[in-house]
């Protein structure tokens, strides 16, 4: 997703009352993969406990993963970004003070019999407002409401969530408006996974293909186990408690293992956010430059000039690049396909890792997550990985 630095401002303590019906236990939904050419100013972030996804400061293709859902009664179908680093489910709503063009019809709450605006504790006569701001100047502003949300599973059966808290955006802007909103999947109380029935135990997983269709799974369908599965601990950091932090111990470039130990990036309590909404992987510049130097020492091709943070080479041959392995705590070693780590731009390839300032968050992006079945288990505080041909699932 092309969004970054989500800041949600509300004037009340949000509680959720969603209940679910149909398909108790688990279900699976198709995911839509879209690629778009995008550009932005230099990546920047703000300090907030509900930040969203960073946006690559490049002109390369970005990968966005979307899921279909239906909102209201009668149901209106939309497509929304899947974002494990966002806290709310929001979509554009009529009346629009300012809305961007979207492919799907904009949701009209006046035509839904199940739409109900939330009232703020401090002022029960007025709707509760939210404001989500992003550092690339994207934003969504509107009112919190409860509404019926329906998902069509791959079996054809619906999963219905009554009285789900959503954000109804009346003033919105997205830099790359390929979707009608966002599906937040972080630990926040108003995220989709937090509002699901207790039958789902906080389990979800996804498998992102480089091709058209991928999958996202909830409940028992979201459990990742079996031969070849590795797992690492999820950490919760008090300053940003809604994110899924992992501990990255090292990155191997071929046989050269570059340790985080000895750098400010080293941590025992989580140092990188796993994020479905960010295309590239972002690392703090001290450690990041060591990884770039290790790649450059292997690649015997002329570097391509580029004005951003990416390391690029004048070659159309991906075989000149070394294999990259990400070593997470607990022995979760991910040997990544070269596609995961190198992005083709025609006559050149670029390392899909970008450097950020030492005080900015590190992100494990969705390009590196391709063809991995990735499971989130909040009850055991584990993220599991299984190497998978995601296009061949189900």
Report the Cα–Cα distance between both ends of the chain, in Å, rounded. Answer: 25
pLDDT at 213 over 80: no
Q: How confident is the model at residue 127 (pLDDT cuts 50, 70, 90)?
A: confident
CA–CA dist 222, 194 (Å, integer): 14
Residues 300-324: tens digit of each pLDDT:
999 988 656 789 999 999 999 999 9
- The answer to whether 275 is a known catalytic residue is yes
Q: Are residues 205 and 304 in the same domain?
A: no
Q: What is the pLDDT of residue 278?
A: 86
Count of structural domains, the chain = 2
CB within 8 Å of 118: residues ≥ 6 apart? 12, 127, 128, 143, 144, 145, 146, 165
Both 296 and 350 in one domain: the answer is: yes
Question: Of these residues, 83, 136, 343, 361, which one is catalytic?
Answer: 83
Q: How many CA atoms lie within 13 A of 81 on its CB side?
A: 33
Q: How far is Cα 282 from Cα 199, in angstroms, rounded to an integer?
A: 35
> What letter does residue 287 receive in the DSSP assignment?
H
pLDDT digits (tens, 9 = 90+) for 3-38: 443 444 343 334 444 545 544 578 898 898 876 554
Neighbouring residues of 307: CB distance < 8 A, sequence distance ≥ 6: none
Nearest of 137, 145, 138, 52 to residue 94 by alpha carbon: 145
Q: What is the pLDDT of residue 200?
A: 81
Nearest partner of 242 among 193, 190, 187, 202, judged by Cα? 187
The domain in which residue 275 lies consists of: 230-392
Classify residue 119 by its DSSP letter: B
8 Å CB contact between 279 and 323:
no
Assess if residue 2 is contained within a domain. no
Residue among 136, 186, 249, 275 flagged as catalytic: 275
What's this model's pTM, rounded to 2 decimal places?
0.88
- 337 included as an active-site residue: no
150 and 132 share one domain: yes
Confidence band for 249, pLDDT divided at 50, 70 and 90? very high
Q: Output the six-digit token pair for 290.
A: 């060591």
Q: Are residues 115 and 256 in the same domain?
A: no
In this structure, are 175 and 268 located in the same domain? no
How far apart (Å, rounded) are the C-alpha atoms in residues 29 and 66?
A: 10
């Amino acid at each position: 997703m092309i969004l970054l630095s989500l800041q949600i401002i509300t004037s009340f303590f949000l509680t959720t009352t969603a209940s679910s019906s149909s398909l108790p236990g688990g279900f699976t939904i198709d995911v839509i993969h879209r690629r778009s050419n995008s550009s932005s100013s230099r990546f920047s972030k703000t300090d907030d406990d509900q930040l969203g996804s960073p946006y690559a400061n490049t002109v390369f293709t970005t990968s966005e993963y979307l899921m279909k859902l239906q909102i209201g009664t009668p149901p209106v179908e939309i497509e929304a970004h899947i974002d494990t680093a966002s806290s709310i489910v929001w979509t554009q709503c009529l009346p629009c003070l300012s809305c961007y063009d979207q492919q799907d019809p904009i949701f009209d709450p006046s035509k839904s019999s199940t739409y109900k605006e939330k009232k703020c504790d401090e002022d029960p006569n007025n709707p509760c407002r939210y404001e989500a701001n992003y550092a690339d100047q994207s934003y969504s502003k509107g009112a919190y409401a409860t509404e019926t949300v329906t998902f069509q599973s791959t079996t054809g059966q619906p999963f219905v969530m009554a009285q789900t808290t959503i954000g109804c955006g009346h003033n919105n802007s997205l830099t790359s408006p390929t979707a009608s909103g966002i599906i937040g999947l972080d630990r926040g109380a108003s995220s989709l996974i937090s509002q699901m029935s207790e039958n789902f135990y906080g389990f979800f997983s996804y498998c992102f293909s480089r091709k058209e269709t991928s999958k996202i799974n909830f409940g028992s369908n979201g459990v990742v186990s079996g031969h070849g599965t590795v797992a690492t601990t999820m950490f919760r950091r008090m300053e940003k408690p809604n994110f899924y932090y992992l501990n990255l111990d090292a990155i191997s470039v071929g046989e050269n293992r570059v340790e985080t130990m000895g750098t400010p990036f080293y941590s025992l309590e989580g140092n990188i956010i796993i994020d479905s909404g960010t295309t590239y992987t972002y690392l703090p510049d001290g450690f990041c430059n060591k990884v770039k130097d290790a790649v450059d020492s292997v690649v015997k091709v002329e570097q391509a000039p580029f004005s951003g943070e990416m390391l690029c080479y004048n070659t159309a041959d991906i075989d000149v690049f070394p294999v990259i392995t990400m070593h997470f705590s607990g022995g979760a070693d991910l040997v990544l396909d070269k596609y995961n780590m190198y992005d083709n731009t025609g006559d050149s390839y670029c390392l899909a890792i970008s450097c950020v300032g030492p005080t900015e968050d590190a992100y494990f992006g969705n390009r590196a997550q391709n063809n991995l079945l990735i499971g989130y288990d909040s009850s055991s505080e584990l993220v599991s990985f299984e190497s998978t041909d995601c296009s061949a699932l189900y």
